[in-house]
Amino acid sequence: MTIDRMGDSPRRREDARFVRGKGAYLDDLRFDGLAHAAVLRSPHAHASIGSIDVSAAAASPGVLAVLTAADAEADGLQPLRPYIEANVQTGERFAFAPQPLLATGKVRFAGEPVALIVAETHAQALDAAELVAIDYAALPAVTTAEAARAPSAPILSEEVPGNVCLDWRTGDATGADEAFGRASHIVTLHLDNHRIVMNPMEPRGGVGLFDAGRGRYTLHVSSQNIHNNRNHVARALGVEAKDVRFVAPDVGGGFGAKNFAYAEHALILWAARRTGRPVKWIASRSEVFLSDHAARDMSAEAALALDAEGKFLALKVSSVANLGAYMAGAGGGVQTYQYIHLQGTVYRLPAISLHVMAVLTNTAPIGVTRGPGFAEAVNIVERLIDAAAREAGFDRAQLRRLNMVPPEAMPMTNAFGFQVDSGAFAQTLDLALVRADAAGFAARRRQSEAAGKLRGLGFAYHIKGTGGPPDENVDIRFEPDGTVSLITGTQHIGQGHETTFPQILAHRLGLPNERIRLRQGDTDLIAAGGGHGSSRATYMGGTAIWRAADEIVAKGTALAAEALEAAEVDIRFEDGRFTVSGTDRGIGLPEVAALGSEKGRPLDTFHAWTRQHMTFPNGAHVAEVEIDRDTGRAGLARYTAVDDYGVLVNPMIASGQAHGAMAQGAGQALLEHATYDPRSGQMVAGSFMDYALPRADDLPPFNLGFNPTPCTTNPLGVKGCGEAGAIAAFPAIANAILDALAPLGVRNFEGPASPARLWQAMQAAR
């Protein structure tokens, strides 16, 4: 047996199960008497509902139930509410309409659930859905924030006047105006952080069961936040949280799309109660595009003021977030907390003025994906810095170095009063530029020019606060067979926690990793949990593990002192053994655990804690692109990153997380765009035929290095590592594209950098 400690890179233990087809995803689970559900979705982006006739569908072969909003109302079901209903900073309530489980009165986006059909087979449910007759009266639709705020725009919900959920000004407007008045250089940009769809490998879904004898629901679900989502679904069902159990053994990816509760979660459980059968629903890929929470979709007018030497004086940003048809999931929390948290990012910016709006449109609701709010803030600053360097004649790297907060000024407190504990920003940037061979770029550019292509170099510095929900807990149990159960309120969705969490506990207790078994993904296993989001798991769950280990050692020291007939102050714990100082007498932790069980003083330990601070992963990413002059096709030629994730529990797994985020960021920059027809509100990019996810041949080998500064806000010294690449890649690649197009006179560009968009930009410049 081996002890893999923090800093080692053992292979992921879960992979052996996955490659042998032993995973426990939704489609792997088996239930007796299983029925199947289909969701009938609105074909209209905006329409009133006159009547719904389900008689033909209900009489269709194999159909067990056809459920509508009228049935939901009769059974007392409630709509979904946002997780955050008021401005995190001011307490001012947002304007919003709760999202009905099934549309009532009108539909507000193409893909909104209107009816639920349950049948013996999935095919029968789909056939019956075709027979539901609905009298729609189409209404005008709006798909952009600009269109939604127009005086003539249709109002989606009476609860949201003018379709505006949030209109908020914050920061130092007076100071910013004064700084702009004395600035030597002012640069302005319009920036569009366009909408994307996450597309996890395993679509959303669930299998619902209802125990009539106990009055209890169980949902086997593909979700990355089971405790919190369970609570919101229980509220929609009109029951207590204790009456609902969520189970998620394996989850095939999430990327934020599975962070929050959906109408289908409650509908499937309700259908199980109505039919007396287990009911299964898994989204088709088309349903993923139409109805999953999308992400980004924020436009901004931004301006940066600099003095003659290039020092930043002030930042002004006016941004509008398109929330889709409902304020779902995090609601306006991203805009009023995460988006403002690190405005100015790693740079000294004495005055920042923000105007933040969030509006409703006839599109799928917005949720989160890697780096929500933080990614938008980083993109604004990094794009402005490059524009300032071009317009005022500064060196891009030197301009960043000049304005970065230096290590000796850490912890830094930004213009909004938020503190960042650690980081060596300028050093990390320099390491990345050296690793990327920025000095050799000129030669590579000449080679591209000789081949008739344009080549550009771009870079961006990212930072994000990680922490997510502030509470977390673990339960560590020493089992009779000598194994240790590590039960967590976080859960894995592909990150490798089955390897890294036992690795942390093995490091602390000196136990062989094989003896430690991670148990998670079941709300009945542990009372609460913050799930996985905001790269929180290793920080939050790891800190709980670390502190629980301290308690275990303290309990074990008392037991060992008795067994070894020594004073507690003379007992030392190291490498899994308690020993008496200055002697060779000792006893192993497993033996102490057994002794504790015999004496009624088990080492089993539950530890819960609430964070006061977040962690702040950061780093520099450097991209090189090559653009074909004739076709506009952009290729990502080189990609280099140096990141600071603090102490690395498992460098191999951290690298894998970083690679995945880089791929996602590159996808947004070059390929992905969730587009809607502006008149009809129909989704134009509704399948993989029209929505281009990055493939292996779209990406170069990633050149990744680390420059860790230990985090001071947790005993492990770790920082979340799952989101960095998705934050940095978008502005780094955009800056590289603009560097390539600069000789043609192109000053600004809105992504994604599809061949058509680039060709049009080049033609316009000519």
pLDDT at 3: 84
SS3 188: strand
132 Cβ contact list (under 8 Å, min separation 6): 40, 52, 53, 54, 56, 57, 66, 114, 115, 117
Order across the sheet with 453-463: list the strands.
453-463, 618-628, 634-644, 702-706
Q: Which amino acid is at 94?
A: F
The CA distance from 148 to 359, in Å, is 7
Name the average pLDDT for the chain: 96
pLDDT at 490: 87
Instruction: Quote the strand ranges of 571-730, DSSP E.
Output: 571-574, 577-580, 586-588, 605-610, 618-628, 634-644, 702-706
Share of the chain above pLDDT 90, in %: 92
Order across the sheet with 577-580: list the strands.
571-574, 577-580, 586-588
Query: pLDDT-derived band of residue 492, with 50, 70 and 90 as boundaries?
Result: confident
pLDDT at 531: 85
Cα 449 → chain centroid: 39
Structure tokens at 625: 């692109």
pLDDT above 80 for 1:
no
Q: Which residues pair with 641 in a beta bridge?
A: 621, 704
Q: Do 539 and 718 form a contact (C-beta atoms < 8 A)?
A: yes
Q: Which amino acid is at 127?
A: D
pLDDT above 80 for 203:
yes
pLDDT in tens, 426-474: 999 999 999 999 999 999 999 999 999 999 999 999 999 998 889 999 9
What pairing do the DSSP bridges indicate for beta strands 113-119 and 35-41? antiparallel
For residues 155-184, give the mean pLDDT: 97
The CA distance from 663 to 652, in Å, is 17
Rounded to the nearest 5°, which phi and psi values hold at 361?
-140, 170
The CA distance from 197 to 290, in Å, is 9
For residues 12-22, give the mean pLDDT: 90
First to last CA, the chain: 67
- 453, burial (CB in 10 Å: exposed 0-12, middle 13-18, buried 19+): buried
Query: pLDDT-derived band of residue 551, with 50, 70 and 90 as boundaries?
Result: very high
Structure tokens at 501: 């969490």
The CA distance from 199 to 286, in Å, is 10
Q: What angle do CA 572, 573, 578 make, to 5 degrees?
A: 85
pLDDT above 80 for 194:
yes
CA atoms within 13 A of residue 656's CA, in its CB half-sphere: 13
CA atoms within 13 A of residue 76's CA, in its CB half-sphere: 5
Query: pLDDT-derived band of residue 749, with 50, 70 and 90 as boundaries?
Result: confident
The CA distance from 434 to 151, in Å, is 53
Query: pLDDT-derived band of residue 358, with 50, 70 and 90 as boundaries?
Result: very high
pLDDT in tens, 617-664: 999 999 999 999 999 999 999 999 999 999 999 999 999 999 999 999
User: Where on the phi/psi map is residue 229: left (φ > 0), alpha (ψ -120 to 50), or beta?
Assistant: alpha
Cα 689 → chain centroid: 25
The class that CATH gives domain 13-23+468-610 is alpha beta
Q: What is the DSSP letter of 522?
A: B
pLDDT in tens, 205-222: 999 999 999 999 999 999
Q: Do 382 and 347 form a contact (C-beta atoms < 8 A)?
A: no
Residues in the chain: 766
Structure tokens at 411: 């912890």
| H or E element that contains 153 | none
Rounded to the nearest 5°, which phi and psi values hold at 10?
-65, 155
Of 636, 664, 627, nearest in space to 762 by CA: 627
Structure tokens at 380: 């604004």
Fold (CATH) for 421-466+615-765: Aldehyde Oxidoreductase; domain 4 (3.30.365)
Query: pLDDT-derived band of residue 495, with 50, 70 and 90 as boundaries?
Result: confident
Share of the chain residues as helix, strand and coil, in percent rounded to the nearest 5: 35, 25, 40
Q: Do 487 and 524 form a contact (C-beta atoms < 8 A)?
A: no
Domain boundaries of the chain, sorted by first residue? 13-23+468-610, 421-466+615-765
Of 723, 756, 737, 705, nearest in space to 636 by CA: 737
Alpha helices in 587-694 (DSSP H): 589-598, 651-670
DSSP conformation letters of 447-482: HHHHTTEEEEEEEEEEE--B--SSEEEEEEEE-TTS
pLDDT in tens, 225-258: 999 999 999 999 999 999 999 999 999 999 999 9
Alpha helices in 610-650 (DSSP H): none
The CA distance from 280 to 31, in Å, is 10
For residues 30-35, give the mean pLDDT: 97
pLDDT above 80 for 766:
no
pLDDT in tens, 74-112: 999 999 999 999 999 999 999 999 999 999 999 999 999
Q: Which amino acid is at 741?
A: L
For residues 665-674, give the mean pLDDT: 97
Q: Do 116 and 267 form a contact (C-beta atoms < 8 A)?
A: yes
Rounded to the nearest 5°, which phi and psi values hold at 665?
-65, -40
Q: What is the pTM of this model?
A: 0.96
Share of the chain above pLDDT 70, in %: 100
The CA distance from 237 to 69, in Å, is 13
pLDDT in tens, 559-582: 999 999 999 999 999 999 999 998
What pairing do the DSSP bridges indicate for beta strands 244-247 and 216-221? parallel
pLDDT in tens, 284-315: 999 999 999 999 999 999 999 999 999 999 99
- 502, burial (CB in 10 Å: exposed 0-12, middle 13-18, buried 19+): buried
Q: Which amino acid is at 205?
A: G
pLDDT at 765: 82
